[in-house]
Amino acid sequence: MTNAARPRALAATVALAALVLPWVVARLGPAASYMLNLSVIFAIVAIALNLLTGFSGQISLGHAGFLMLGEYASALLTLKAGFPFWAALPASALLVGAIGFLVGLPAVRLSGNFLAVATMGFGLAVPEVMLNWAGLTHGSAGLMPKSPTIGGFSFGSDVAYYYLALFCLALVWYICATLLRSRTGRALQAVRDSEPAALASGINAAYHKALAFAISAAFAGVAGALYAHYVNFVSPNDFSIQDSFLFLAMIVVGGLGSLPGSLLGAVLLTVVSQLSTSLGQFSIILTGSVMLLAVLFFPGGLISLARRRRPTPRVPAPLAQRSAAGGS
């Protein structure tokens, strides 16, 4: 944007509104507060996924798997290893990030459709492992992690937890924004735009691709840990392959390669899917329709509507060119 003052004023307004929001929403009842907190937690996942897909050009159909790993990591660390929540949260981020790095290793050599298939396999495998590794995870009986406390204060209420989640969201946003402006961030986007050109400029494409996976997984792990200690129950049924699709829908509807877009998409789709949960199947029908409409009519996402005057399209071009899947 040429005019720097306007977006800054907008950002300040949004931030202020975010601080007041829980008190307004609380008047609508506990279901609305739950939806709000879920939106904040899912916004972290959307930013994580956008970092990977929108900014580094790698698709993941397995982010629900990372989210679930974060849930279990944090629940197990607090319940079985006696970690306090405040240590378990960063520890699960590191743990899930390390797993993300391992999953990202094959991704170094894959792109497009093949990467989608590989990550989808990962996403299907995680709930199965959690269900059947009963000695550690208690199978379908699940785990019951406690709400975090600090001093004598418990984050058991919706409003208190909102601020905790919001703080994490702000932190993740800040880290991502800083990262994207750094040398590493530029390298990620260069690899996205043209891998051969990036290689020719001396960028280690393989390292940056795996790094993007690791960071994205770590943030998804943070969201998982936050979710686990919010609902105080963790089971293999929490997230499925459908949720991986939902996260992808968030960033596509919101806007690929845009942090505000991730936020917008996360809030919109969380509300849509939660509101329609009472309507049974209509939740996924509505989510699917929104995805389809977005792809057909707003390929740049909702955020592109706000950016109409910009001449350049916001959809990362390289995903178009990499229609041939396969080798490097």
Partner 1 sequence: MFWQTLVDGLAVGSLYAVTAIGLVLIYKTSNVVNFAQGEMAMFSTFIAYQAFTHWAWPYWAAVLAASAFALVLGWAVYWLFLSRLSRAPLLSQIIATLALFLLFRGVAGAIWGNQPFSFPTAVQPTVVRFGPTLILSTQIITFAACLLLMALAYALFRYTRVGLAMQAISQNMFAARLMGVSVGRVYGFSWALSTLLGAVAGMLIAPTLFLSPTFMEGVAIRAFAAAVVGGFASLPGAAVGGLLFGVLESLFGFYISPAFKTTFVSLVIIAVLYVRPGGLFGPRTVKKV
**Which residues lie near partner 1 (CB under 8 A)?**
53, 59, 61, 103, 105-106, 109-110, 112-114, 116-118, 120-122, 124-125, 128-129, 131-132, 194-197, 241-242, 245, 248-249, 252, 256, 280-289, 291-292, 294-296, 299, 315-317, 319-328
Q: Which is nearer to partner 1, 219 or 245 (CB)?
A: 245
Q: What is the 3-state secondary structure (H, E, C) of 159-178?
A: HHHHHHHHHHHHHHHHHHHH
- Please give the Cα distance from 239 to 46 (Å, whole number): 15
Shortest distance (Å) from residue 170 CB to partner 1? 28
Q: Which two tokens stand for residue 306?
A: 């706000």
Q: Which is nearer to partner 1, 115 or 143 (CB)?
A: 115
From the list 101, 43, 92, the residue with the least C-alpha distance to 228 is 92
Nearest distance, CB of residue 299 and partner 1, angstroms? 6
With respect to partner 1, which residue has the nearer C-beta, 164 or 256?
A: 256
- 38 or 120: whose CB is closer to partner 1? 120
CB of 12 or CB of 295, closer to partner 1: 295
Q: Rounded to a whole number, what is the largest CA-CA distance in the chain? A: 58
Distance in angstroms (rounded) separating the CA atoms of residues 244 and 208: 23
Least distance in Å: CB of 123 to partner 1? 9
Q: Note whether 252 and 59 are within 8 A (CB).
A: no
Q: In DSSP terms, which residues pair with 149 in a beta bridge?
A: 154
CB of 253 to partner 1, least distance (A): 9
Position of tokens 């940056």?
Answer: 208
